[in-house]
Structure 1
């Protein structure tokens, strides 16, 4: 029996302003799945946001801080969805990575979509909220909307540039020692890739604060480097990391050029690390070489000194960033939440 089907074409062709879709859409499942998994570092990015605000910016509206924190969280979790695919990671935070559950195509689309949702929230939600919370202020809304979107765009560019270098060095690892990146090259890449979330905190807080502060971007850059150097060290030495990642020495298995691995390759010509990275063609092949992975970590610990180099660099940067924080704070920073978090990160 044929039935007439009425389609309301008028509603379909109405213009749509921005992304206004139901939050429970199935295409966002990979993001919601990852978002629900507790992080490895007890919400360290939110704690950094609060710590920066307490010491430098003094924004008193919790609603505004929560909105900034949400944007940073969306940006971060979106990058993790894509990162796990690019690294062929099977686990994230101790559970299967989103793409292993929802598939690569949907997870890529979801991660990219959430980047733009974060951008839209920064461009529209933040300025509107700031105006509502400060009705007595003369606010140039167009200027604030442009500046918030520019902040997100700048850091998305930095993230993808840094991540691109990280992938390139991994997938096209130079066979000639002299062609390997310098340690300074690696740290510059990290500044782009990992420093972005710290710069986002500082830039957004600064835009919506009435206080004048010194240039804090160098602190954000160094904190990003500290965070990644610590992660590089823990990836090869921590049993907790091994459990959360689902494998010991994940960076070695991925063929990643982390700081201790790069140091080892630059300061030795024959080692288990060379054998693992140059004679195996895939992460699956490397994963099966359990003894060679253990030998590589032992070599970096006892022979090349690469793990000590990484730990010493972390401690050196720890002292440097404490000096920078003390020099830029208008009040005594010794007991500040910011220094407490930095001390906890560097206390290995």
Structure 2
């Protein structure tokens, strides 16, 4: 029998009556679907499927993204109600993306606690993260129809390239790495700032995106450096987890390219070490042989100086300067 495509649930009655030995009125699920899903969706259901998101949100990070937005709003003066929506959406998208990132990286710890999918499982964590993405879009609809989905595409493009390099054991150039980071991390920074610029009541003709791009790249390179060098990061994410994940982070990219005849770093990445012995060996190589941590620090200081110069050019911002003081290494 060839089945014709159904044009709507209101036509289901005659179709199912021809298949099932019961009247359509005896098929309660289809009666339910033909009306609406909302009446049966309870608050307890909502809480249950959001539980993985509630778990990761209950253990917040340092709030650098919120601090950045609050500092920029000194210049932009977005109305309070709209600004609160933007901040809320940023936290929703950020935590949802972390849930997915931890699955993609097979991470063990996030902010010193077990990652979400190790507690709730991969399927539920993926579903909840996707659900939160759509809830965030629903919130954005309140902002006069504004939607910055282009930056969410950039975020996933950057993440996709990073995963490809890892899985293919293919080291990018420094330029390719910067481009990837400007998509992956920069996209998450630019999206709310573009919304704020569209809703601003002050400095309407000022472009803050160049400053945000510098801060985004600086933030990610700093994160890469700290992952391999910071005791605090070791406690929160595990010791040198980027090596376990096989990730081509900024110091690792430099180390591979600085001596492309020596396969020490790529060999360690390929093995995805869990125990510290190989990790210490790779870190010592990056520190003493290729001087990759010195190089990374130099790039970080240069980016920090560029950010401070741009802040001064835009008229000065004490709160932004304070944020850079917090991030300074």
TM above 0.5, one fold?
yes
> Over residues 130-178 of structure 1, what are the superposed CA-to-partner deviations in whole Å (9 max), with x where a residue is unaligned?
xxxxxxxxxxxxxx30xx22x1x1111011100000100000013xxxx
Structure 1 length normalisation: TM-score?
0.81
Give, in angstroms, the shift of residue 14 of structure 1: 2.1
- Equivalent residue of 2:117, what SS? helix
Residue 323 of structure 1 pairs with residue 309 of structure 2? yes
**Cα distance per residue 1:266-317 (max 9 Å; x no partner):** 1112253233124x2xx3xx113x2221011111111101111111100000
Aligned length: 299
- Cα displacement (A) at 1:115: 0.9
Would you say the 8 A contact 1:30–1:98 is kept in 2? yes
For 1:168, the equivalent position in structure 2 comes to 164
The correspondence of residues 272-311 of structure 1 with structure 2, limited to 5 A, is 272-278=264-270, 280=271, 283=272, 286-288=273-275, 290-311=276-297
Whether contact under 8 Å (2:185, 2:216) holds in the other structure is: yes
The answer to whether the 8 A contact 1:30-1:102 is kept is yes
Aligned to 2:121: 103
1:193 matched to 2:184? The reply is: yes
Q: Distance in 1 between matches of 2:313 and 2:205?
A: 12
Cross-structure match for 2:193? 202
Deviation at 1:8, TM superposition (A): 8.9
- Counterpart of 2:105 (choices 87, 102, 109) is 87
Q: Which of the two has higher C-alpha Rg? A: 2
The CA distance in 2 between the partners of 1:341 and 1:273, in whole Å, is 33
What are structure 1's unaligned runs of at least 5 residues? 128-143, 175-179
Report the counterpart of residue 34 of structure 2 in structure 1.
Answer: 13
1:158 maps to which of 130, 154, 161 = 154
Does structure 2 retain, via aligned residues, the 8 Å contact 1:78–1:115? yes
Runs of 4+ in 1 over 6 A off after TM superposition: none
Please say if residues 152 and 191 of structure 2, whose CA atoms lie closer than 8 Å, have aligned partners that are also in contact.
Answer: no
The answer as to 2:310 corresponding to 1:314 is: no
Q: Which residue of 2 aligns with 1:138?
A: none
The two structures have a TM-score, normalised by structure 2, of: 0.85
Using the alignment, how far apart are the partners of 1:311 and 1:29 within structure 2? 39
